[in-house]
Structure 1
Amino acid sequence: MTTKVEYFEDVTLMITHYNRSKSLERLLSELKKANCTFKDIVVSDDSSTKEHLDYIKTLQANYNFTLVSGPTNKGLGNNLNKGQNAISTPFTLYIQEDFIPLNNFSTNLRNGYSLLKENEEFDMVRFYAYEKYPYLKPVKNGFSEMLFKWYYPGLNKFAFYSDHPHLKRNTFEQKFGRYLEGTSGDKTEFTMMMSFIKNGGKAFFFDEHKSVLEQVNSSTEPSTMHRNMWRNSDNFFITHLRTAYRYINCYSSLYLKRI
């Protein structure tokens, strides 16, 4: 029995990469096994070493992707921006190189894609998150609408946008701006998160958010994203200072806008 290949004719897969060419190969291989193909694939590389770049070039024969790189490492924001510059399709599926698709990936991607096609006022579909978004309104096929109001309790409501795997429209940049460059990955993501909220972004969220893709970091190619001590410490006093800081920062970024 032949498994149907899901072809997304107006979607480009964009993969960000930095010094993890084996992880990139694993992702491309698993997507092929998942019978999922796209109009184009763009690998946006953040100036990896010659060893990794040479290996990536050998992968192009098997996976037929466009490689976008640069002479110097300029961080997450620049890597996202230059990758998006190379895309002309109406939709972009963004996945970092350290993810792999799980069972029913193509079916869930098709369902999420259909939601965006049916609901033109929505900007993106999110397929992965560290934690489930706290305020969701069920829609269909396991997807929910993400809801944000400034008065909802808790800090997790601000995680309305994430640079984890998602499908977005090509109008995303026009509506929410370019990714902030020349700063840490944390600040790049936070800035886009606040822009998404302030500019009335709308998104769907897959309820079983860890059943579509899995993040896998091997000992030979560990994560290249380093969080600082302030962000990750479990120290009681640092935790409470961090919480107070985040509340002030989030609300000041919103200018107390009533959304």
Structure 2
Amino acid sequence: MLEKLPVNFIDILMGAPYNFDRVTLLITHYNRSKSLEHLLKRCAEEDLSFEEIVISDDGSKPEHLSYVKSLQQIYTFRLITTPVNKGLGANINRGQDAVKTRYTLYVQEDFEPTCDFAPNFINAIKLMDTESWDIIRFYTFPWAPFPYLKDYKLGYAEMLFKPTLLHLNHLKFRLYSDHPHLRRSNFFQKFGRYIEGQRGDPTEYNMCMQFIRKNGRALMFNGSPELFLHEHGAIEPNTMVRSKWKLSNSFFVSVMRNLYLKGKVVNSTIKLKKLN
């Protein structure tokens, strides 16, 4: 009876490490070597094993890059570097090009898995193997949940894109996100590459639009335990710099920001219709 069980399930029963041999853990990094160390340490503590770990560094300062290289003496990973910082899009493109496995688990260096991640990740791989999902997401900011979810199974919910202007929540365009997720490694073949040479927010938003245009199908973990923590302990400052007006708590700014976001929904909807 035991030999008929899935390999990963046997590992769980025997108390063995979680071995995801068809998955590459792709980590993008820039000037946050201590955060990267924390992520790698947490993966080791949770006994997470992947076919390969690829770290794509985007031209970090020498002291950070040197520290990352020193981590190779403790953790096994392949380091992809570039002499000049080229932005988020170029970093993800460079890292994804280096992946050789069927699946990619994409995680930025300021996230960390929890003890609930591995069992639910096994289910995500099962869903990828047997169904036609393009990505399966494991995190969203608590203050910015995706608005239109439909319960599916195994703790996951289908992310539904509502194209009409009756659905004015601007977060509906975040069907794709660069938060931790599992994707097929031929992702670029269907959705195109990330734009390069722009700031992080427009780079990600452009991929969101490409994902919707190409009818991307996404699941999101919708269970109660958190699978990832973001900036847990605030080890290093965020390298993403956003405009001050986006962070202001002023009543006037809040009203203007809300009007801006509603206008963005209309503008993005029109853009999608033109592109299609």
Q: What is the count of residue pairs matched by the alignment? A: 257
Aligned ranges 1:206-225 → 2 under 5 Å: 206-208=221-223, 211-216=226-231, 218=233, 221-225=236-240
Q: Deviation per CA, 1:178-198: give whole Å up to 9, x if none.
A: 001000100000000000001
* Whole-angstrom CA distance in 2 between matches of 1:164 and 1:210: 17
Q: Point out the more displaced range, 160-169 or 127-136.
A: 127-136
Q: Deviation per CA, 1:56-96: give whole Å up to 9, x if none.
A: 11111221100011111111000000001111111100001
Whether 1:252 aligns to 2:267 is no
Contact 2:23 / 2:101 at 8 angstroms: preserved in 1? yes
Q: Deviation per CA, 1:91-142: give whole Å up to 9, x if none.
A: 10000111111122111111111111110x2101000011332222222221
Contact 1:127 / 1:206 at 8 angstroms: preserved in 2? yes
Contact 1:127 / 1:165 at 8 angstroms: preserved in 2? yes
Structure 1 residues 91 and 201: alpha-carbon distance in aligned structure 2, compared to 1, 3 A threshold: same
The match for 1:163 is: 178
Whether 1:42 aligns to 2:54 is yes
Normalising by structure 1, we get a TM-score of 0.93
* Whole-angstrom CA distance in 2 between matches of 1:219 and 1:160: 27
SS in 1 for 2:198: coil
The match for 1:62 is: 74
Q: Deviation per CA, 1:195-246: give whole Å up to 9, x if none.
A: 0001000011100387000001655511111111343344144213422431
Whether 1:20 aligns to 2:32 is yes
* Whole-angstrom CA distance in 2 between matches of 1:182 and 1:217: 29
Structure 1 residues 231 and 209: alpha-carbon distance in aligned structure 2, compared to 1, 3 A threshold: farther
The match for 2:94 is: 82
Q: Point out the more displaced range, 53-62 or 174-183.
A: 53-62
2:266 is matched by which residue type in structure 1?
I
Whether 1:123 aligns to 2:134 is yes
2:189 is matched by which residue type in structure 1?
Q
Structure 1 segments, 4+ long, off by >6 Å, are none
* Whole-angstrom CA distance in 2 between matches of 1:99 and 1:210: 15
The match for 2:159 is: 146
- Which of the two has higher C-alpha Rg? 2
SS in 1 for 2:72: helix
Structure 1 residues 28 and 219: alpha-carbon distance in aligned structure 2, compared to 1, 3 A threshold: closer
Contact 1:47 / 1:73 at 8 angstroms: preserved in 2? yes
2:158 is matched by which residue type in structure 1?
E
Contact 1:128 / 1:209 at 8 angstroms: preserved in 2? no
Structure 1 residues 254 and 232: alpha-carbon distance in aligned structure 2, compared to 1, 3 A threshold: farther
Which structure 1 segments of 5+ residues have no match?
A: none
* Whole-angstrom CA distance in 2 between matches of 1:48 and 1:218: 22
The match for 2:7 is: none
**Aligned alpha-carbon RMSD (Å):** 1.9
Q: Point out the more displaced range, 243-252 or 79-88.
A: 243-252
The match for 1:93 is: 105
Q: Point out the more displaced range, 188-197 or 200-209.
A: 200-209
2:145 aligned to which of 128, 132, 140:
132
1:138 is matched by which residue type in structure 2?
D
Whether 1:187 aligns to 2:212 is no
Alpha-carbon deviation of 1:256? 6.0
Normalising by structure 2, we get a TM-score of 0.87
